[in-house]
Structures are given as structure tokens and as C-alpha cells.
Amino acid sequence: MSKSIVLLPGDGIGPEVVGEAVKVIGALKSRHGLDAEMRHAPIGGSAYDETGEPLPERTLELCREADAILLGAVGGRKWDAIDYPLRPEQGLLALRSKLELFANLRPAIAYARLSPASSLHPRLVAGLDLMIVRELTGGIYFGEPRGIREEDGERIGFNTLVYSESEIERIARKAFKVAAKRRCRVCSVDKANVLESSRLWRETVGRVGRDFMNCELTHMYVDNAAMQLVREPKQFDVIVTGNMFGDILSDIAAQLTGSIGMLPSASLGKRSQGLYEPIHGSAPDIAGQDKANPLAAILSVAMLLRHSLDEPDLADRVQSAVARVIEQGCRTSDIYRGDGKRVGTREMGDAVVTALVE
């Protein structure tokens, strides 16, 4: 039966990078037997402009029915003044939350030929293969109460960092299962020396870890983890952490690989349905200029094929094609360091499509 993919291009460079990902899906359909239909739907700022909401009901409905969702990016200065509940980012956060996509996998892989693009010494990043498992539907992003209130003549902004045992347990289980297919090492990152929610996090992850005795479990405070990521990143296999720490650490991990334009992600829940997106933002400064790197979006297609469409061979094919174009020297501006060929968004997408058959 044909699988259904909903495309949510979003804002800024989102439509451009999703456009290249669609070329890749199209080539897999016409030449490699993929049976999938694609439908577009609005999200983020462009959805707000069209309908007055960053996540229109119709978009949510289409996503609920789909086997997989591919998203570009949301947000931009144009919508900065809008109230929080209607901001473009809320569209994405609501989608993650309503579909209960609690597990966000963010692999950071450093391609050998791209080590000059990293801000760290090639010796520190060559061969890096790290997976961040970020809790995605809880923590301070969603905790109540939240808001800005008046007290004693001044305004007070507040948010709540809250995690229940069951939320911690399910993300920990996911992390151990991911690690079991890798190098069997999990590092749980928290701030248990200061925060009660982190103390519960540490205890709970430790308890879950006893069900996975073949995996090594270590704990690290988030400040140290940030430092260790830039000091000796290859010490990590799987990092499991909460929503906000994961947001921050995954941007650090992205830069290790050379560019944030290289990192895909998968957001998964109980079902096989998933949301796939590059971890980069909407980059309004380069939008519409054929400058964006589409590889994170294309690598997100590989994750989509693997986790939601049960097409591991096609996923491998996409990943190999990306590795090949990097080997061939194709470089968008973000990863161009004087060698190889500087290409635009579209030319990079075309190169991947060509490399799919090799």
C-alpha cells in the first residue's frame, strides 16, 4: 500500500530545502520502487499569514493521518512581534506535542572530508558519530505555570521545569534501545546538583538502566557536557537529556560536524509515524537565494525512510548518495572552505539525485 508523506515546508529556507528533499523522494519513486504519495500543508509563519494560526486544524488532521511528516523550518523576524501562542514556533511545538512525538533523535556525524569546516581541530572530530536523544514534549518548553506577571510594580517572567517519572522512563528506554544498536553507551545529561527535576531524572534513568545491563550508563552535568562536547566529542555514543538541554547541546554537536546545515532529526512517539526535520532554523537572511544547504533535509528523508516507511535499503541509498557528493567536493557556502566546488541549494539537490543511482 502506498505510504503517505505530509510536507510542511514552513518559512525562510524551509521551502527550498524541502524542495530538494522532494526531488530525492521523487527519484526514489520513479527509479527505486518507493511507493509514496506527498501532500503539502502550511505551518509556522506562512500558515499564520494564510489562516491566522501557526498550526491550522487541517494541517494537524493531515499529519495525524500520514505515515510520516517532513518539515523544513519555522519562524522569522517578520513574526517576532506576534503573541507567543500564535508565533510560528508554537505551530511546531504544538505538532510535536499533539502527536506525542516525545523522542527526538539527532545524529551528529562528521564526514572526514568536512573536518576542515568544523571549528574544532580535525583530529577531534574525524570519525565523530554521536546521537543526541532529546526529550521533546515535556520539560520547561511545556511546563505550567508560565507567563509574565506584574508584582510590586515590575514584570516577572516565569516558566516551569517539570518532568514526571513516566516521561523520563520512556525517553530513557528509547535511548537505551538506540544505544543497543550502536556502541552501547548512554550518557545521561542533567543538572542534578541544583534541580529537583534533574534529581528525579538521574534516579529514573539509573533505574531504567538496570533493564539494559549490556549498556554502560554514565551521568554528566549539563555544563560539563557542553564543555566535553567541544573538548573531546568522540567520548560520547548516545546522550540522553531533557528538552531544553537537548536543544542547546544539539546545536553544539551540529557545529562539530562543520555546519548546522548537516544535521537531520527524527521525532518519534509510540507509533511508527514520525516527524522529520533538519535541526537548523529558517535562516531568513539567506532565504530565497539558493544558498541554503539542503543536506540536513535530505538526510532527514533517510531517517524517514528508515523509521517510518520501513525502507532501510532506500535509507542507506540516500545516506550513501550524500556521502558521495561530499566526497566529490560539492559544497554549499556553509561548508565551503576553499576546496571543492561551491554549489547552490538546487545544484546540491541535483548532485544527490544523480548520486542515488551510483
Residues that bind ligand IPM (CB under 6 A): 74-75, 89, 92-93, 247, 279
Q: How many residues does the chain have?
A: 358
Decide whether 89 or 169 has the Cβ nearer to ligand IPM.
Answer: 89
Other C-beta atoms closer than 10 Å to the C-beta of 272 total 12
> Which one of 135-143, 225-233, 239-247, 290-298 is the stretch in contact with Mg ion (CB under 5 A)?
239-247
Active site residue 141: yes
Position with the least CB separation from Mg ion: 247
Look up residue 76 and give its three cell numbers. 522569522
**143-173 per-residue burial string, b: 16 or more CB within 10 A, e: under 16:** beeeeeeeeeeeeeeeeebebeeebbebbbb
Quote the least distance from Cβ 83 to ligand IPM, whole Å.
Answer: 16
From the candidates 49, 251, 290, 350, give the one annotated as an active-site residue.
251
From the candidates 11, 23, 48, 141, give the one annotated as an active-site residue.
141
Position with the least CB separation from ligand IPM: 89
Active site residue 191: yes
Look up residue 51 and give its three cell numbers. 489562516
> Which one of 61-69, 88-96, 243-251, 291-299 is the stretch in contact with Mg ion (CB under 5 A)?
243-251
**Among 357, 306, 331, 293, residue whose Cα is nearest residue 117:** 331
Quote the least distance from Cβ 46 to ligand IPM, whole Å.
Answer: 14
Decide whether 252 or 323 has the Cβ nearer to ligand IPM.
Answer: 252
92 binds, among Mg ion, ligand IPM, none (CB under 5 to 8 A by kind): ligand IPM
Does position 135 bind Mg ion by CB under 5 A? Answer: no
> Which one of 168-176, 242-250, 321-329, 330-338 is the stretch in contact with Mg ion (CB under 5 A)?
242-250
Does position 16 bind Mg ion by CB under 5 A? Answer: no
From the candidates 23, 190, 191, 334, give the one annotated as an active-site residue.
191
Does position 247 bind Mg ion by CB under 5 A? Answer: yes
From the candidates 3, 247, 276, 336, give the one annotated as an active-site residue.
247
Look up residue 104 and give its three cell numbers. 527526538
Residues 97-126 touching Mg ion, rule: CB under 5 A, are: none
Does residue 130 contact residue 179 with C-beta atoms inside 8 Å? no
Strands (E), the chain: 3-10, 36-40, 68-73, 103-109, 129-135, 147-151, 154-158, 185-190, 216-221, 238-241, 266-268, 274-276, 330-331, 341-342
Active site residue 80: no
Quote the least distance from Cβ 343 to ligand IPM, whole Å.
Answer: 26
**113-137 per-residue burial string, b: 16 or more CB within 10 A, e: under 16:** bbbebbebeeebbbebebbbbbbbb
Decide whether 95 or 179 has the Cβ nearer to ligand IPM.
Answer: 95
Does residue 72 contact residue 36 with C-beta atoms inside 8 Å? no
Decide whether 140 or 162 has the Cβ nearer to ligand IPM.
Answer: 140
- Residue 131: strand pairing partners: 107, 238
Decide whether 75 or 269 has the Cβ nearer to ligand IPM.
Answer: 75
Decide whether 20 or 247 has the Cβ nearer to Mg ion.
Answer: 247
Look up residue 205 and give its three cell numbers. 534513568
**Residue 76 identity (one-letter amino acid):** G
Question: Which residues form the interface with Mg ion (CB under 5 A)?
Answer: 247
Which residues belong to the active site? Answer: 141, 191, 223, 247, 251
